[in-house]
Structure 1
Amino acid sequence: MTGLDVQHHEGLRETYAGTWQGLTHDEIRAQYPEDYAAFGRGEAVRRGGGELSSEVADRSVPVVLEAVEKLPENGTLVVVSHGGTIRTMLGRLLDLDPVQWECFGGLSNCCWSVLGRGARGWRLLEHNAGTLPVPVIGDDT
């Protein structure tokens, strides 16, 4: 127990996937083959008419940056969210082109990433920490 308050932020919710919500990868592949193939190629696709990855970053990163500004010197911020949302936050904070955000792969359940501030901005110190890398359901399928 840390004694710290938990704060909920709508901006940290998972990506809204429109009509793809609740479907398996096989179901999406069968029902939306062209969009699914484009998504697999890394194209900016509104999965099921839902959010683009860049839009997820647009709503989640400001939540993180606002919380960082409130930290005491040498403070630590813990952000808990879904893997897709975390991936977009990492990509945006590290100033990577959105097509490169997939390089992080899936974030396994109960694992974490660690960012630190360097002289030239954010640096990725750890990713998918807490376990040996194991396949994440839906990753590269």
Structure 2
Amino acid sequence: MVLEHAAGLPDAGTLVVVSHGGTIRTTIGRLLGLESHHWEGLGGLSNCCWSVLGEGARGWRLLEHNAGTLPEPVLGDDD
């Protein structure tokens, strides 16, 4: 389904997919053409983090993984 949505994007368009870490890791592994026993090598995603993929001449590439930080301080955490 991700590929179908990505195919419908305009040039330089962006598709945002939101899901749980395991589902995202599986999707990334499939897009990269990795065998399932290699998916765990991608590592998990921390809360509120993301991965960036780009499509190149030879297929999908993982450009960033587990990117982003949580805001600090989070209001109410120092009480």
Q: TM-score, normalised by structure 2?
A: 0.84
Q: Partner of 2:2 in structure 1?
A: 64
Secondary structure of the 2:66 match is strand
CA distance in 2, matches of 1:112, 1:131: 10
CA distance in 1, matches of 2:21, 2:42: 10
2:31 aligned with 1:100: no
Q: TM-score, normalised by structure 1?
A: 0.48
CA distance in 2, matches of 1:105, 1:73: 30
Q: Partner of 1:79 in structure 2?
A: 17
CA distance in 2, matches of 1:71, 1:128: 24
Secondary structure of the 1:95 match is coil
Displacement of 1:64: 0.5
- Which protein has the bigger strand share? 2
Amino acid paired to 1:73? D
CA distance in 1, matches of 2:64, 2:16: 14
Displacement of 1:131: 2.8
Q: Partner of 1:113 in structure 2?
A: 51
Q: Unmatched 5+ residue regions in structure 1?
A: 1-62, 133-141
Displacement of 1:75: 0.3
Q: Paired residues, what number?
A: 70
Amino acid paired to 2:40? E
- Which protein has the bigger helix share? 1
For 1:1-141, what aligned pairs fall within 5 Å after superposition?
A: 63-131=1-69
CA distance in 2, matches of 1:75, 1:106: 26
CA distance in 1, matches of 2:59, 2:52: 14
